[in-house]
Amino acid sequence: VKQIVSDLEYISVSVSHTTRQMREGEIHGHDYFFIATAEFKSMQASHEFLENAQVFDNFYGTARQSVEALLFKGRDVILEIDWQGAQQVRNMLPDSISLFILPPSIAILQQRLEGRGQDSPEIIARRMEDAMSELQHYKEFDYLIVNDDFQQALAEIKSIIVSQRLVINRQLNTLKPLLECLISSGENSLG
């Protein structure tokens, strides 16, 4: 995701709120907004989240206002969320595009989780169980990307983003004056 933001213009990553403890090296407001459970539940009750979920013993959520502000500025917004979050986002923002990132194998997924060095063996086992459950929902996404070769997966994701920016509905606002000029010029020269 960092590489995509670095390579493409007008794209941002949404910073989620979470009730989990901050890990070493994480920065409040950059990696997550670390908040108390009571504050999270208050935001949840006020419908301030575009999507939210409980993962293990912690809550995670994407603030609707921050995403809408970025979209209003004409930016694409990446949300790193699970299938339940993607389902909630689709319900709130039907024009959103979803990508499901697949590991090349279950064994490699486990190696990657262990290689991060962030979680205990028990948490990794729970994450693996969740991954097996997540895989059942791949058909609910618009695109599937296999994260086997990093550069290939990156190129595929960037291609999706760029092609979605070229969809006519997204271009009408910026190209409408040009289209009107071209059409009226054509009519004048034919008439």
Task: Express the helix, strand and coil content of the chain in percent, nearest 5 each.
Answer: 55, 15, 30
**Residue 115: inside a domain, yes or no?**
no
pTM: 0.84
Asked if residue 57 belongs to a domain, the reply is yes
88-96: average pLDDT: 95
Q: Is beta strand 76-78 parallel, antiparallel or unpaired with respect to 99-102? A: unpaired
Domain count, the chain: 1
Residue 130 above 60 pLDDT? yes
Burial 40-67 (b: 16+ CB within 10 A, else e): beebeeeebbbbbbebeeebbbbbbebb
Residue 175 in any domain: the answer is no
Three-state secondary structure call for residue 32: strand
The answer to whether residue 106 is domain-embedded is no
- Taking only the tens place, the pLDDT of each residue in 13-72 is 999 999 999 999 999 999 999 999 999 999 999 999 999 999 889 999 999 999 999 999
Taking only the tens place, the pLDDT of each residue in 4-13 is: 999 999 999 9
CA distance 42 to 75: 28
- Please report whether residue 41 resides in a domain: yes
DSSP 3-state of 22: coil
CATH of the domain at 33: 3.40.50.300
Q: Record the tokens describing residue 16, joined without a space.
A: 């989620």
| Domain carrying residue 89 | 1-96
What is the average pLDDT across 135-152?
Answer: 97
Q: Residue 63 in contact with residue 50, Cβ under 8 Å?
A: yes
Residue 191 has pLDDT above 90, yes or no: no
User: Is residue 177 in some structural domain?
Assistant: no
* Domain presence at residue 143: no
Mean pLDDT value of segment 131-158: 97
